Amino acid sequence: MSCGQIDLKGYLLGEISHEDRRAVEAHAAACAACREELERLRLTQGLLKSLAEEEIPQRIAFVSDKVLAPGWWARLWQSGPRLGFAAAALLAAAILVHALVRPPVIVEPPAPDQAAIEAIVERELARRLDDAVARAAAVWEAREAERRAQLLRQVREEFEMRRREERAQIEQAFEVLHKRLNVMHLASAWRAEER
């Protein structure tokens, strides 16, 4: 199966047969370009789905009212001939622009060009990567902090143990001194009696 033959969007929407799904998966496993395209489509679909069902972007006024009924994005996504990635991304960008600029502005914005859309998608992908890196760094830092805390505990325990040992030694020394003093005291008492 070549890149042109596989239906990535049908795959994402669960519209294709079990055998076709297997074929898409096998192809995507071997083809980096299609894997990337699939990831982009997933991202675009995710952006579309993340919007509330009733929240209709006012800025894509070129879309008819009929389309803007509940599930408008699903219908757009599935409308035949199927939207290409660029069209889906354009829609996502229009929605993003709408979501970012509130309250809604009456002036129609110029249609975003494809490079700008690609930039938005790239930025989103980069943000996800940054998030993943930040999470990994946080895990590492937490582990490092735990390791340092454990080291500190060890040092404290060792110090405490040594302190106890020294204390025992001092007590022992005092006991010896005390006994010697007793002996000296007894000795002087005997000497006094002898006189």
Q: Which residues bind Zn ion (CB under 5 A)?
A: 3, 31, 34
**Shortest Cβ 30–Zn ion spacing (Å):** 8
Residue among 19 and 65 whose Cβ is closer to Zn ion: 19
Q: How far apart are CA 53 and CA 75, in angstroms?
A: 12
Name the nearest CA neighbour of 45 among 6, 17, 74, 69.
Answer: 74
Residue among 30 and 173 whose Cβ is closer to Zn ion: 30
**Shortest Cβ 80–Zn ion spacing (Å):** 22
Q: Give CA separation, 177 vs 142, 165, 171, 195, in Å.
A: 52, 18, 10, 27
Residue among 34 and 96 whose Cβ is closer to Zn ion: 34
**Shortest Cβ 29–Zn ion spacing (Å):** 10
Residue among 27 and 98 whose Cβ is closer to Zn ion: 27
R_g (Cα) of the chain, nearest Å: 38
**Shortest Cβ 22–Zn ion spacing (Å):** 15
Name the nearest CA neighbour of 77 among 62, 66, 92.
Answer: 92
